[in-house]
Chain A
Amino acid sequence: MKVETGKNIQVKDVSPSGIKIIWQEIKKDKLAMGSLIILAAILLFVYGASLFMDAKEIAKVDFLSIYMEPSSDYWLGTDYGGRDVFGQLIIGTRNSFTISLFITLFTAIIGLSLGLLAGYFGGATDNVIMRIIDFVIALPQLMFIIVVVTIVPIFNVYVFILIMTMFLWTGKARLIRSKALSERELDYIHASQTLGTPHWKIILFQLLPNVSSLIIVNFILNLAGNIGLESSLTFLGFGLPESTPSLGTLISYARNPDVLENKWWIWVPASLMILVLMLSINFVGQALKRAADARQRRG
């Protein structure tokens, strides 16, 4: 009994860490909690199931079973090449999510490094980095992508991730920079400097933890945005080829009026999947956003 009370006090002594606050905030928010469960279920299923699927087999054209309606053989019917839509949906969701994840990850790494450097050092370093950002923003993004898509001999997932990363890091860099700029004026950074801590250590171990909540929130919200991004580009015809199924490929079949009107099984499931993924990631992201800002917390 005594031991127990002692333990309780100990637990209270420990300050709520970032992860704990986030978890509490999600638990308080039913929508976020539901979203998290749905998201986890979809991702587990998709990544699990795709392990047992043969992507080549699914991509194989079979003229004997074109545009078949959903049945027990083909759960979600087939497309104009007689390919199983359900299989494409699984692989496509996996591809789309992986692409989004990597784009978000890479842009976060670049944006974080440059943003921290610009914000911490300020002055000339900041100037150079900001001019680079201005330059990238000034580039006509869509035109660039179209040109790359047409001249690159093999356009695959990696190339797609690479060129999207090239354009999308700027927003993050600016966000992190402005936060770092205001943090570096605080005395704890000055204190570290007078204590003889080298710059790189101050950036990594003093500054970074204080911008981390901002990064996490931005990361999650970007993840949702980037899923939609891939799909819309593919829909416009500048995304991935049919040989790499993605949610965008499935939806872009709806450009054919016949498919749009009569063959709902091809594009509706993929559209719903995008909607559900984006919404649920967003709801979780909103809860995280509140967790990061003490004034908005519910719990």
Chain B
Amino acid sequence: MTLLKLDNLKVHFPIRGGFFRRVVDHVKAVDGVSFELQQGETYGLVGESGSGKSTTGKAVVKLNEVTSGQILFEGRDLASLSRREIKPFRKDIQMIFQDPYSSLNPKKRVLDIIAEPLRNFERLSPSEEKKIVQDFLDKVGLSPESIHKYPHEFSGGQRQRIGIARSLTLKPKLIIADEPVSALDVSVQAQVLNFLQDLQQEFNLTYLFVGHDLGVIRHMCDRMGVMYRGRLVEEGKSEEIYENPQHIYTKRLIAAIPDLEPEVREDKVQLRKKLTSEYESTYSKYFDENGRAYDLKPISSTHRVALQ
């Protein structure tokens, strides 16, 4: 079942300039992106910094204005709804933020942080509320006494767990995870990722997983889309993309993954050199005269690539 479907989504930010701060141009942060998320799967969005991954995710939770296109959640177009109309959907779509330091209000206790969504949607007595919060703290592996502490008393990994607990309290169907581990120590990353996978099982969650680390995305995601300058350049099952990349940008992205084994390191250097020259000679096959990627074309039933 299709849970979320983006159809030709565009998010353009105005650039203001000149004396009257008129709109002089637009940043096309997301410029015609279409993909679907099936119920229960994890879909990854990868791409370099500034490629529009976060903007796509934020558009789904209405943190950005959508310029055009549709965001269909269970068949309803979220892009056309006003802030008030969207409120019931807030329960179903939640977000985990990239930075565990700025995503928790430093002046609030953990209890107030995790209970905030509950207070918006449910009428609970303080003791019921406390019980639910403690249950979720338990689920994310934090001690029940944590509820009276402030965010600065926790480590980065623990804070991210608090953020995760907060996003779970309303029992959402879809969670947008915007680089949930990129601010964390490598040793903690795996822990949080596995934990997100466990939660997916338990709550039957669908993830839209944003990241720039292909290794992480491959580990987490069933399918993924590769973004470049606001456009999807390749989309398919994670293995397909990883083992058989078709777009030159995807190839270079995969080649850029650092390798720890010394034997293959030299090969990698060669591969990157080869890809650079391939990129230059075949540029027009992948990008039009404005440097914009072409629309996606299917090359198999699951694999789509932006080719001429």
Instruction: Give A contacts to B, CB under 8 Å.
Output: 13-15, 186-188, 190-198, 206, 209-210
Chain B residues whose CB sits within 8 angstroms of the CB of A15 once the complex forms: 149-150, 152-153
Taking the closest CB of chain B, its distance from the CB of A171, in whole angstroms, is 23
| Most B Cβ at <10 Å: residue of A14, A188, A193, A198 | A188
CA–CA, A222 to B34, complex, Å? Answer: 55
Q: 14 A-B Cβ contacts within 8 A?
A: A13-B149, A188-B105, A190-B97, A191-B163, A194-B62, A194-B90, A194-B95, A196-B91, A196-B120, A196-B121, A209-B105, A210-B105, A210-B106, A210-B107
Q: Are B105 and A206 in contact, with the CB atoms below 8 A?
A: yes
CA–CA, A14 to B58, complex, Å? Answer: 35
CA–CA, A186 to B104, complex, Å? Answer: 9
Asked whether B98 is an interface residue with its Cβ less than 8 Å from the other chain, the reply is yes
Taking the closest CB of chain B, its distance from the CB of A64, in whole angstroms, is 63
Chain B residues whose CB sits within 8 angstroms of the CB of A188 once the complex forms: 102-106
Chain A residues whose CB sits within 8 angstroms of the CB of B120 once the complex forms: 195-198
Q: Are B107 and A187 in contact, with the CB atoms below 8 A?
A: no
Q: Are B166 and A191 in contact, with the CB atoms below 8 A?
A: yes
Q: Are A194 and B104 in contact, with the CB atoms below 8 A?
A: no
Asked whether B40 is an interface residue with its Cβ less than 8 Å from the other chain, the reply is no
CA–CA, A188 to B105, complex, Å? Answer: 5
Q: Tell me the number of A-to-B contacts counted with CB atoms below 8 Å.
A: 66
CA–CA, A198 to B93, complex, Å? Answer: 17
Known A-B contacts A194-B61, A196-B91; the reply to A187 vs B103 at CB < 8 A is: yes
CA–CA, A190 to B54, complex, Å? Answer: 13
Asked whether B94 is an interface residue with its Cβ less than 8 Å from the other chain, the reply is yes
Chain B residues whose CB sits within 8 angstroms of the CB of A186 once the complex forms: 102-103
CA–CA, A15 to B107, complex, Å? Answer: 10
Chain B residues whose CB sits within 8 angstroms of the CB of A14 once the complex forms: 148
Taking the closest CB of chain B, its distance from the CB of A117, in whole angstroms, is 17
Query: Which residue of B is nearest A14, CB measured?
Result: B148
Query: Which residue of B is nearest A197, CB measured?
Result: B120
The 3 closest A-B pairs by CB, nearest first: A187-B103, A196-B90, A209-B107
Taking the closest CB of chain B, its distance from the CB of A166, in whole angstroms, is 28
Chain B residues whose CB sits within 8 angstroms of the CB of A210 once the complex forms: 105-107
Q: Are A194 and B116 in contact, with the CB atoms below 8 A?
A: no
Known: A15-B149, A195-B166. 16 other contacts (CB 8 A): A186-B103, A187-B103, A188-B102, A191-B104, A192-B116, A193-B62, A194-B62, A194-B63, A195-B116, A195-B117, A196-B90, A196-B91, A196-B117, A197-B116, A209-B105, A209-B107
The number of chain B residues touching the other chain, given as a range, is: 20 to 34
Chain A residues whose CB sits within 8 angstroms of the CB of B117 once the complex forms: 195-196
User: Considering the complex, which residues of chain B in the window 165-186 have a beta carbon less than 8 Å from any beta carbon of chain A?
Assistant: 166, 170
Query: Which residue of B is nearest A186, CB measured?
Result: B102
Asked whether B222 is an interface residue with its Cβ less than 8 Å from the other chain, the reply is no
Chain B residues whose CB sits within 8 angstroms of the CB of A191 once the complex forms: 95, 97, 103-104, 163, 166
Asked whether B99 is an interface residue with its Cβ less than 8 Å from the other chain, the reply is yes
Asked whether B87 is an interface residue with its Cβ less than 8 Å from the other chain, the reply is yes
CA–CA, A197 to B116, complex, Å? Answer: 8
CA–CA, A188 to B108, complex, Å? Answer: 11
Chain A residues whose CB sits within 8 angstroms of the CB of B148 once the complex forms: 13-14
Chain A residues whose CB sits within 8 angstroms of the CB of B61 once the complex forms: 194
Chain B residues whose CB sits within 8 angstroms of the CB of A194 once the complex forms: 61-63, 90, 93-95
Query: Which residue of A is nearest B61, CB measured?
Result: A194
Chain A residues whose CB sits within 8 angstroms of the CB of B58 once the complex forms: 190
Chain A residues whose CB sits within 8 angstroms of the CB of B153 once the complex forms: 15
Chain A residues whose CB sits within 8 angstroms of the CB of B149 once the complex forms: 13, 15
Taking the closest CB of chain A, its distance from the CB of B212, in whole angstroms, is 18
Chain B residues whose CB sits within 8 angstroms of the CB of A209 once the complex forms: 105, 107-108
Taking the closest CB of chain B, its distance from the CB of A127, in whole angstroms, is 9
Chain B residues whose CB sits within 8 angstroms of the CB of A193 once the complex forms: 62-63
Taking the closest CB of chain A, its distance from the CB of B137, in whole angstroms, is 16
| Most B Cβ at <10 Å: residue of A14, A196, A197, A210 | A196
Chain B residues whose CB sits within 8 angstroms of the CB of A190 once the complex forms: 58, 63, 95, 97, 103
User: Considering the complex, which residues of chain B in the window 105-163 have a beta carbon less than 8 Å from any beta carbon of chain A?
Assistant: 105-108, 116-117, 120-121, 145, 148-150, 152-153, 163
User: Considering the complex, which residues of chain B in the window 49-90 have a beta carbon less than 8 Å from any beta carbon of chain A?
Assistant: 58, 61-63, 87, 90
CA–CA, A191 to B101, complex, Å? Answer: 12
CA–CA, A209 to B61, complex, Å? Answer: 25
Chain A residues whose CB sits within 8 angstroms of the CB of B94 once the complex forms: 194-195
Query: Which residue of A is nearest B21, CB measured?
Result: A127
Chain B residues whose CB sits within 8 angstroms of the CB of A198 once the complex forms: 120
Q: Are B99 and A187 in contact, with the CB atoms below 8 A?
A: yes
Taking the closest CB of chain B, its distance from the CB of A238, in whole angstroms, is 38
